[in-house]
Amino acid sequence: MIDKIKELIEEAEAFTTQSKEEVEAFRIKYLGSKGLLKAYFAEFKNVANEQKKEFGQTINQLKKTAEDKVNALKEELESKEETKSVYGDLSRPGEPIEIGARHPISIVKNQIIDIFSRIGFNVSEGPEIEDDWHNFTALNLPEYHPARDMQDTFFIQTDPDILLRTHTSSVQVRYMENNKPPIRTISPGRVFRNEAISARSHCFFHQVEGLYIDKDVSFADLKQTLQYFTTEMFGKSKIRLRPSYFPFTEPSAEVDVYWGLETETDYKMTKGTGWLEIMGCGMVDPNVLENCGIDSKTYSGFAFGMGIDRIALLLHQISDIRLLSENDVRFLEQFKSAL
Ligand code: DAH
């Protein structure tokens, strides 16, 4: 009988499984209330006295082996389950990774930055919460100047000195205050105006400001730069400058690019004229240079400002400006193939 028990010990030691049910069956077989050990312990009284010691030791050894085995297997299976719940099923094939899309505003902004960086413009930024000086006064728009009404302003609480910038021209001022000419910089950013939200206008949108200050900068340089830009951006080199008014530039102009009238969309986009207005520009007013600590007798320069949203709507045939800020994935996903 002792030999039989020793066999069982070996068997128990060798036992292994991945299934909880089999561990339980093993436990019942050896340690259960009707199990082998119970039977052998009951047998103890019938064992000859001189064998009692060895018999006792052997069944105790079997008991310990079986108990250890059950505990070890349970622990092993439980720890496996834990790993499973943390990592899921590691043998499953991976989920395909969804590729994101750049926002149309970013696409257009990056294109503009790229085009101007090729002719030596760097990128500068300024705060969206501005003070009156940088957004208005330094730009030749003193208090009570009627042109302030052109831009419905959001003021911060009760302090009329602090506002949400209405244009990125404020960055011009900051840049000139902090840098000496020659200056070649473009400043993209978000701007805010207290306007009713509709398909065509929003209370926040995006602009890129351009500024070039050096000795002997002329209007011809401005026109050449704009022509380079429209050619690179739209593939159209025919532009016209219409006289206009901005307090911070003199003379000022509105830039139209000749889009053409080849398709029905061209007709729609240009309202049948073939021309599209894309930005405002001009020679920086000497007052603005002086306000920013630049000697207007030595230096001159040009500036321009354009709306990124407008260009994005045009280029991607988007009919409603609100789509640009609604974050509807079905809309955004369409730009996956763009830059
Ligand atoms: N700040 C103007 C606006 O928001 C755009 C603009 C026009 C900027 C002419 C300029 C400029 O720098 O020279 O409508």
In this prediction, residue 169 carries a pLDDT of 97
In this prediction, residue 79 carries a pLDDT of 82
The Å distance, Cα 247 to ligand 1 centre, comes to: 9
In this prediction, residue 176 carries a pLDDT of 98
| Residue percentage of the chain with pLDDT more than 90 | 60
pLDDT tens figures, 216-235 = 999 999 999 999 999 999 99
Q: What is the DSSP letter of 187?
A: E
The Å distance, Cα 279 to ligand 1 centre, comes to: 7
pLDDT classification of 269: cutoffs 50, 70, 90 = confident
> Does the pLDDT value for residue 150 go beyond 80?
no
- Residues annotated in the binding site for Mg(2+), as ranges? 250
In this prediction, residue 106 carries a pLDDT of 95
Residue 167 CA: which ligand 1 atom is closest?
Answer: 4
Q: What is the DSSP letter of 213?
A: E
Distance CA 194, CA 203 (A): 6
- CA torsion sign for 324, 305, 252, 222 is negative
Which residue's alpha carbon is nearest to atom 8 within ligand 1?
A: 305
3-state SS of the chain: helix, strand, coil percent to 5? 45, 20, 35
Q: Which of 73-82, 99-108, 241-250 has the highest mean pLDDT?
A: 241-250
The Å distance, Cα 307 to ligand 1 centre, comes to: 9
The Å distance, Cα 162 to ligand 1 centre, comes to: 20
Q: Which residues line ligand 1 (CB under 6 A)?
A: 167, 169, 209, 246, 249, 280-282, 303-305
The Å distance, Cα 319 to ligand 1 centre, comes to: 24
Of 73 and 288, the structure prediction assigns the larger pLDDT to 288
The Å distance, Cα 136 to ligand 1 centre, comes to: 12
> Does the pLDDT value for residue 157 go beyond 80?
no
Residue 191 CA: which ligand 1 atom is closest?
Answer: 4
Distance CA 55, CA 64 (A): 14
Distance CA 317, CA 323 (A): 12
What is the pLDDT of the chain when averaged over all its residues? 91
Ligand 1 pocket mutation pick from 164, 223, 246, 256 by most atoms within 8 angstroms of CB: 246
Ligand 1 pocket mutation pick from 213, 304, 306 by most atoms within 8 angstroms of CB: 304
Distance CA 73, CA 60 (A): 20
Residue 306 CA: which ligand 1 atom is closest?
Answer: 5
Distance CA 317, CA 14 (A): 73
Which residue's alpha carbon is nearest to atom 6 within ligand 1?
A: 305
pLDDT tens figures, 111-134 = 999 999 999 999 999 999 999 999
- Residues annotated in the binding site, as ranges? 250
Which residue's alpha carbon is nearest to atom 4 within ligand 1?
A: 167
In this prediction, residue 338 carries a pLDDT of 67
pLDDT tens figures, 164-210 = 999 999 999 999 999 999 999 999 999 999 989 999 899 999 999 99
Q: Is 293 left (phi over 0), alpha (psi -120 to 50) or beta?
A: left
3-state secondary structure of 298: coil
The Å distance, Cα 34 to ligand 1 centre, comes to: 94
3-state secondary structure of 297: coil
Which residue's alpha carbon is nearest to atom 7 within ligand 1?
A: 280
Q: Which of 19-28, 76-85, 221-230, 260-269 has the highest mean pLDDT?
A: 221-230
The Å distance, Cα 338 to ligand 1 centre, comes to: 28
